[in-house]
Amino acid sequence: MSPEGAEQVVRDPGMQQERTTLAWRRTGLALLVGTLTIGRLALDALGGAVLLPTVLVAALAGWVVVDTLRQKRLGFVHPDDPRYTVLRDGRLVLAVAVVVAALGLGELALAVSRLV
């Protein structure tokens, strides 16, 4: 029962999908910036050997951003629709996990190189 005079909240069914897509886009951008930062620091400490891994991980983080931008172009698509793939197939989750693991390994390599 709602109290007299209380306003009903109207929910837009597309807003949840929009917030999820925006959150994934921010995550991808943060991973891209983190990858480039760690790659730059590792380049000074470890030399050119980190260039290829940095480029590969940055490309994967960039793919996360591009894939979420592609979702935006689809407009409102119900999560049951096969075109809605932000979380359906698990590729974004896997990409983020790989990038985070690579960033952790990069930080570990930097720490070890400074101890040696």
**Each residue's pLDDT tens digit, 63-110:** 888 888 876 655 555 656 666 655 667 788 888 899 999 999 988 988
pLDDT band at 20 (very low <50, low <70, confident <90, very high): confident
Output the pLDDT for position 114: 86
**pLDDT-based confidence at residue 37 (cuts at 50, 70, 90):** very high
Report the alpha-carbon distance of residue 12 to residue 96 in Å, rounded: 28
Q: Amino acid identity of 89?
A: D
Q: What share of the chain is helix, strand, coil (3-state, %, to 5)?
A: 75, 0, 25
CA distances from 34 to 21, 41, 59, 85 (A): 20, 11, 12, 25
Please tell me the number of Cα atoms within 13 Å of 86 on its side-chain side: 26
pTM attached to this predicted model: 0.73
